[in-house]
Amino acid sequence: MNSKNDSVLRSRRKVVTLSTLKRKLPALRKSGKEIAFTNGCFDIIHYGHVCYLQKAKKNERVLIIGLNSDISIRKIKGPSRPINKQNHRAGVLAALSCVDYIVLFDESTPYHLIKSVKPDVMIKGSDWKGKDVAGSDIVQGYGGNLELISFVPNCSTTKIIEKIRKSDAKKR
């Protein structure tokens, strides 16, 4: 197999079911790795996402992403979203070296996923400061931490979509 195919195969192995991840976690913990968890839609992956995920990976953590499924995104953002299908979003995330595992979930929040994974640290964007973060009660309840990471200013999927829509409207 050539290196391009090897890379694709490694990326695909990062997208796992919850049951597969749960089988891997004991060995990761035994090796002393800190388990970090974040979640999101990652609908149009951009520079801000990459910076956020690189910061989340610090200290050689195992970084797990709870990725909202297409069903989940429609519940949250309405019928016009997602822009990109879940397998495409997962594939792009899996190609990032800072991401170790990706697990899709259908609920509006990753609460049950967090309860199963039991991460050492839960990571969210700094825009969640002072807000109720789904699952943080679980993580902090067993001594884990909630870590808030700053975003790249003015860099969001919603703003990118708005910019595209405005540009399209001007052309008409």
59 sits in the region (left: phi over 0; alpha: psi -120 to 50; else beta) called left
pLDDT of 15 strictly over 70: yes
Q: What value does the mean pLDDT take over residues 54-78?
A: 95
What does the pLDDT read at residue 160? 86
Q: What is the CATH number of domain 3-171?
A: 3.40.50.620
Label residues 90-119 b or e (16+ Cβ within 10 Å = b).
Answer: bbebbebebbbbbbbbeeebbbbbbeebeb
What does the pLDDT read at residue 154? 81
Percentage of the chain with pLDDT > 70? 94
What does the pLDDT read at residue 10? 56
What does the pLDDT read at residue 11? 66
DSSP E strands: which ranges in 51-100? 62-68
pLDDT tens digits for range 111-134: 999 999 999 999 999 888 888 899
Sign of CA dihedral 114, 115, 116, 118: positive
Q: Check if the beta carbon of residue 147 is closer than 8 Å to that of residue 123.
A: yes
pLDDT of 7 strictly over 60: no
CA distances from 133 to 22, 39, 42, 43, 129 (A): 23, 11, 18, 20, 9
Q: What value does the mean pLDDT take over residues 70-92?
A: 95
Please, which residues bridge with residue 123 across strands?
A: 147
Instruction: Parse the chain into domains and list their residue ranges.
Output: 3-171
Please, which residues bridge with residue 149 across strands?
A: 125
